[in-house]
Amino acid sequence: MTPLVSIEHLVKYFDIGRDQRVHAVDDVSLTIYEGEIVGLVGESGSGKSTLGKTILGLHDKTSGTVKYGDEALPQHYRAADFQKYAARMQMIFQDPYSSLNPRMTVAEIIGEGLRLHSNANSTEIRERVAEWLRRVGLQPDHMSRYPHEFSGGQRQRIGIARALILEPEFVVCDEPISALDVSVQAQVVNLLDSIKKELGLTLLFIAHDLSMVRYVSDRMAVMYLGSLVEVGPANPVFFEPAHPYTQILTSSNPEPDPESERHRASTSITGEIPSPVNIPAGCRFADRCPKVMPQCRQETPKLKPLNGDADRQVACFLYD
């Protein structure tokens, strides 16, 4: 396996005035290998989108490094850097409603990357846009329409075409299906899957829906309050979660099966995710953890291989 994106000790703080800062991403290290899909899950506000955007240079890094292959990506992107990396790394944005400019036609939206980052002429651009519309299951004659004329699922496809037309190698998909109906989610997931195979893409797939993430991903990473608490192959993380937070996530995930839901014990977690402004000392999950130990409130657990298995990492003193 060849590392494609290597994230080391990445930190992203947002200063929000009055000497307060949001610890949105706090010391995250993760290696994403060529051709794999890494699923990133975690509660709202845990820093998933910020991590994705910081990897791509859409936010400046507070500290830490991101390497693409062997090349260290800039701390702060300039226009020329976007120019240089746009063709290799792209993002599909969280919200299919607000992420498409309502005043641009579909052709302009999808073709924009080519116009900015390639020397294709306008005829070539139109051809490529038509080809990608077909590829994502829309029609070439949709080109002159505006985003509001499309359903949520269709807009998500437009977002996918826009990100993929440059044929990038690495794509951050930020909740590409959350706003969609079940029947349309399957369309979009299958579409991503087949394009991934065709183009040999590597994906960071951010989502809330654990069942879908397990289904889509090769590996899964679980984020809590800016930190990764567990990383590993998708099936073991989903079926035999090690971190108490992952355990609560998977046991809260309702399955479309009345019989197994009847036998599910109530597992409600107590408390709320703490504010990322006042990060508690020690393990960030300690206040809500059913298995908390005195040590957890003093020291911060680091991601370590679980039972010596380097593929499976967990940040929890239970496994020391």
Partner 1 sequence: MSSDKLLSVENLAVEFDTYGGTVQAVRDVSFAVDAGETLAVVGESGCGKSVTVQSVMGLIPMPPGRITSGTAKLRGRNILGNPIVGGEDIRGAEIGMIFQDPMTSLNPTMNIGDQIAETLEVHRGFTAKQAFNRAVELLEMVRIPEAAKRAKQYPFEFSGGMLQRAMIATAIACEPAVLIADEPTTALDVTIQAQILDLMNDLKRDTNMAIILITHDLGVVARMADEVAVMYAGQIVEKGAVDDVFYRSAHPYTLGLRAAMPVNDREAEHRLTPIDGSPPDLFHPPKGCGYCARCPAAMKVCNDVVPPEFAMSDTTDHFSRCFLQHPESSAVRLDGLYRKEVSA
Ligand X SMILES: Nc1ncnc2c1ncn2[C@@H]1O[C@H](COP(=O)(O)OP(=O)(O)OP(=O)(O)O)[C@@H](O)[C@H]1O
Contact 177, 155 (CB under 8 A): no
Binding-residue pattern over the window 13 to 52 for partner 1, x denoting contact by CB under 8 A? ------------------------------xx--------
Residues of span 31-50 touching ligand X by CB under 6 A = 42, 44-50
**Contact between 156 and ligand X per CB under 6 A:** no
The order of strands in the sheet holding 89-92 is 89-92, 170-174, 202-206, 37-41, 219-224, 227-233, 309-314, 304-306
Which partner in ligand X, Mg ion, partner 1, none is near 118 (CB below 5 to 8 A by kind)?
none
Which partner in ligand X, partner 1, Mg ion, none is near 187 (CB below 5 to 8 A by kind)?
partner 1
**Among positions 71, 182, 307, 320, the unique one binding partner 1 when judged by CB under 8 A:** 182
**Least Cβ distance, residue 262 to partner 1 (angstroms):** 9
Binding-residue pattern over the window 193 to 232 for partner 1, x denoting contact by CB under 8 A? ---------------x-xxx-xx-----------------
Q: Quick one: which of 36, 37, 29, 179 has its CA closest to 99?
A: 179
**Contact between 258 and partner 1 per CB under 8 A:** yes
Rounded CA-CA distance 87/203 in Å is 15
Rounded CA-CA distance 244/284 in Å is 12
**Contact between 297 and partner 1 per CB under 8 A:** no
Q: Which residues bind partner 1 (CB under 8 A)?
A: 43-44, 151-153, 181-187, 189-190, 208, 210-212, 214-215, 235, 238-239, 248-249, 252-261, 264, 266-269, 271-272
Q: Which residues bind Mg ion (CB under 5 A)?
A: 49
